[in-house]
Amino acid sequence: MSAAPPVLNVSAYLFTPVTDAVQLRPVLRERAVAAGLKGTVILAEEGINLFLAGPAAALRGYLDDLRADPRFAGLRATESWSAAQPFRKMLVKLKREIIRMDRPAVRPDEGRAPAVTPATLRRWLDQGHDDAGREVVLLDTRNAFEVDEGAFHGALDWRLERFTQFPDAVAAHRDELRGKTVVSYCTGGIRCEKAAIVLREEGVDAWQLDGGILAWFAAEGQAHYRGDCVVFDERWAVDSALAPAAVR
């Protein structure tokens, strides 16, 4: 068996109240630089979102240090590998939202919409319906250019240019979604934390794919999916083995 590539990549987020983001910013950056990591950490009052890469032991230790803070104890990371460092800098940014929707009343930290695991969704898709016998509709919440790179077979694609358009798109399509089991999905799950809440507020029986496409690839590989998944670093996209996708 060949050795794993030398650079570990992680994607992780958590909606949790963060009232000291300004003070926390230099602390997290200094820890990351000392550990030899590069990437981006986004801090907002609603939580944390991070994309980091570096030596495996150092990166996992960094996440363990984060989880020592009770606010971040539930942080889960999706891992993948690359032969080279896909980031050029180490940035810690302060934002109004860790994923921008411009709907401040949508607060996943106050109660998330129900999630479906990759294993359960795989069963539903294999059998052609959910466990109650209802039609399952997959809804892609990503931007159009991401969908063009890869998506679940038969998924709805509203040709979004930015995530802030999603609530209006739901209002325009809600009637066609009612009475069905709608599973929203995105790259790593963060967008669907908000998307599924908006859907349910519009009367849609919506679920979110826990961990997004990256968790699906880790658990189910290429099943029911075509193409690759865009990631926001120099790899551009990963394949169903979570390896950098071949250049087309």
* Nearest C-alpha neighbor of 201 from the set 121, 130, 101, 123: 101
Q: How confident is the model at residue 2 (pLDDT cuts 50, 70, 90)?
A: low
Query: Residues 94-140: pLDDT tens digits?
Result: 999 999 999 999 999 999 999 999 999 999 999 999 999 999 999 99
Report the C-alpha gap between 151 and 91 in whole angstroms: 29
For residues 143 and 28, state if they share a domain: no
Query: Residues 145-169: pLDDT tens digits?
Result: 999 999 999 999 999 999 999 999 9
The overall pTM is greater than 0.85: yes
Among residues 94, 116, 151, the one where a domain terminates is: 94
Specify if 162 maps to a domain.
yes
pLDDT score recorded for residue 3: 61
Domain count for the chain: 2
Handedness of CA 160, 165, 167, 173 (dihedral sign): negative
Residues acting as catalytic residues: 186
CATH of the domain at 199: 3.40.250.10
Q: What distance lies between CA 129 and its chain's CA centroid?
A: 24
Look up the domain containing 36 and give its range.
Answer: 7-94
CATH of the domain at 74: 3.30.70.100
Specify if 136 maps to a domain.
yes
For residues 63 and 117, state if they share a domain: no
Among residues 94, 126, 146, the one where a domain terminates is: 94
